[in-house]
Amino acid sequence: MSAPNIDTIVSLAKRRGFVYPSSEIYGGLGSAWDYGPLGAELCVNVRAAWWRWMVYERDDIEGLDSSIILNRLVWKYSGHEDTFSDPLVDCRECQSRFRADKLREQYRQSKAKAGEYILVMGWRFLERGELKCPNCGKANWTGVRPFNLMFRTHVGATAEDDADALVYLRPETAQGIFINFLNVLNTSRRKLPFGVAQIGKSFRNEVTPGNFIFRTREFEQMEMEYFVRPGEDEQAHQEWIDACRQWFLDIGISAGNLRLYEQPKEELAHYAKRTVDIQYRFFPEREDEERHWDELMGIANRTDFDLKTHSKKPEDAEGKRLNPDSTEDLSYFDEQTKQRFYPYVIEPAAGVNRTVLALLMDAYSEKTNDKGETRVILKLHHSIAPIKVAVLPLAKNKPEIVGMAKAIKRSLQPIMRAVYDDTGGIGKLYARQDEVGTPFCVTVDHQSLEDEAVTVRDRDTWAQERIKVANLATYLLQRFADN
Ligand code: ATP
């Protein structure tokens, strides 16, 4: 089972301290969310799992943490100043605003459903009123215009309109990696193929944010740029697609809720040779099966566009430098072939927040106890669960039991996230931990004082086992390893 819709997760997230609407005491700020105690922990675990898999468990990846605010020229030559925009259209009747490319996809799907498989280019379908406004049902559209998604700000104590002081908040982490290609290459003494990974915040002034943490204006990305020899790019790309899908399975997402989506040629970014998205079933409640799915991560073959565009050497047909501002040439000298070239780049790019949403949706399940009460159980993978173990005293008015429970919690804390809780009866405490995905509850009872053993309760099966306190840490670590 997984969550029937995102709304189920929104209320669980707020109730249990995963995610709160941001700035709520001042009326909120559209599509901004704050991560509470459990949500912050969940994000830490997602980042750690990705970093461990991407950087530590491989021998060919380095890590990086570049600035959020970069020289404006980075965004000029990356193409973002000119092309990082969404096509906007308004309904003249109800003033609703839409992304025209999303409307085009809806139009194409509705045609396909009617048995008409067509390639829809441009915006004629809107001009001719062939698609009705999803909000009011009329077909009276404004023209389509581009809207740049980069947030602008100014550095230093300069005037608001000083063009020299204009900078952007980065809309992706990738460019920070490209501009550091030579730094990493020279300091790490790497040879191709190798990659550079980065996790960090990105900012996009999205036209239509929404669906909880699925699309927000401030979000976090986990990106890796894998540099390869031209000609080795297609195979490396396929290997990364397979590896990334496997990673989502390894952190507990079910195969049935994942699918690969090959971006059609007309959807590809101008620099991309091939892009495959890993999609998750974020919208299972939608009537149309095709609209259940949306992007969780993208894996692009970006060719040699990035390193070339930031290099000083490439010239146009008339011998004019394409980038007169760069002071470096980001090419690579291959010792084996004695050739110099610009490496191709394979980019797996995922969002921390969308991964958190997919994990919460996928882990959601309900179970009825013997009293007929329905309980929520969040069956998160053990490596992702915000709390690994909750230590609970059976009687909170018995100082010896409380003391023993607190001591067990303290002894476990250096090796796993453990909490102590005595704020309710044992049934209630179990239910609370099930709802936030804690894999194990450890209960200290009267008997524990005599036999130095505790009851370990499994979140998913509700099975209980008696374990000696001296063996508890080893037992739990083994159970985590088996997960
Ligand atoms: P979309 O088509 O959904 O706008 P994108 O193709 O522009 O996404 P990329 O630029 O490929 O996204 O970014 C990589 C990943 O970053 C996405 O797969 C997603 O997980 C995450 N991401 C991108 N934009 C947002 C956003 N506004 N809010 C939350 N996560 C995002």
Residues in the chain: 483
Average pLDDT over residues 428-456: 97
Is the pLDDT at 367 greater than 80? The verdict is yes
Question: Coil, strand or helix: which one is 461?
Answer: coil
DSSP string, 355-390: HHHHHHHHHEEEEE-TTS-EEEEE---TTT-S-SEE
- For the chain, percent of residues with pLDDT exceeding 70: 100
Which letter, b or e, does each residue of 143-158 get, where b requires 16 or more Cβ atoms within 10 Å of its Cβ? ebeeebbbeeeeeeee
Q: pLDDT for 18-28, tens place per residue?
A: 999 999 999 99
Do the two domains 85-148 and 387-482 of this chain adopt the same fold? no
What is the pLDDT, as a whole number, of residue 82?
92
Is the pLDDT at 207 greater than 90? The verdict is no
CA atoms within 13 A on the CB side of 358: 29
Give nearest CA residue, ligand 1 atom 16.
Answer: 351
What is the pLDDT, as a whole number, of residue 345?
98
Give nearest CA residue, ligand 1 atom 21.
Answer: 351
Average pLDDT over residues 192-217: 96
Among the listed ranges 81-90, 170-179, 294-303, 342-351, which one has the minimum average pLDDT value? Answer: 81-90
For the Cβ of 297 lying below 6 angstroms from any atom of ligand 1, the answer is yes
Q: Whole-angstrom Cα distance, residue 199 to residue 350?
A: 10
Is the pLDDT at 45 greater than 90? The verdict is yes
What is the 177 CA–ligand 1 centroid distance (Å)? Answer: 18
Is the pLDDT at 58 greater than 80? The verdict is yes
For the Cβ of 38 lying below 6 angstroms from any atom of ligand 1, the answer is no
Cis peptide before 193 (omega within 30 of 0): yes
Sheet containing 194-203: give its strands across.
61-64, 194-203, 218-228, 344-351, 294-301, 274-280, 258-262
What is the pLDDT, as a whole number, of residue 122?
86
What is the 264 CA–ligand 1 centroid distance (Å)? Answer: 17
Average pLDDT over residues 354-360: 98
Average pLDDT over residues 265-293: 93
- Fold that domain 387-482 belongs to in CATH: Rossmann fold (3.40.50)
What is the pLDDT, as a whole number, of residue 322?
95
Q: pLDDT for 307-327, tens place per residue?
A: 999 999 999 999 999 999 999
Give nearest CA residue, ligand 1 atom 13.
Answer: 349
Q: pLDDT for 98-149, tens place per residue?
A: 999 989 988 988 888 888 877 778 899 999 999 999 999 999 999 999 999 9
Atom of ligand 1 nearest to the CA of 217: 27
Give nearest CA residue, ligand 1 atom 4.
Answer: 215
Give nearest CA residue, ligand 1 atom 6.
Answer: 298
Phi, psi of 341 (to 5 degrees): -155, 170
User: Under CATH, which number does the domain 6-69+160-360 receive?
Assistant: 3.30.930.10
Question: Coil, strand or helix: which one is 193?
Answer: coil
| pLDDT band for position 68 (cuts 50, 70, 90) | very high
Tokens of 421: 């809780």
Q: Say if CB 149 and CB 159 are below 8 A apart.
A: no
CA atoms within 13 A on the CB side of 481: 6
What is the pLDDT, as a whole number, of residue 385?
98
Is the pLDDT at 163 greater than 90? The verdict is no
Q: Structural domain boundaries of the chain? A: 6-69+160-360, 85-148, 387-482
Q: Does domain 85-148 have CATH number 3.40.1360.10?
A: no
Is the pLDDT at 416 greater than 90? The verdict is yes
> What does R_g of the chain's alpha carbons equal in angstroms?
26
Q: At what angle do helices 6-16 and 352-363 cross, to 10 degrees?
A: 100
| DSSP single-letter state for residue 141 | B
- Residue 63: CB atoms within 10 Å: 15
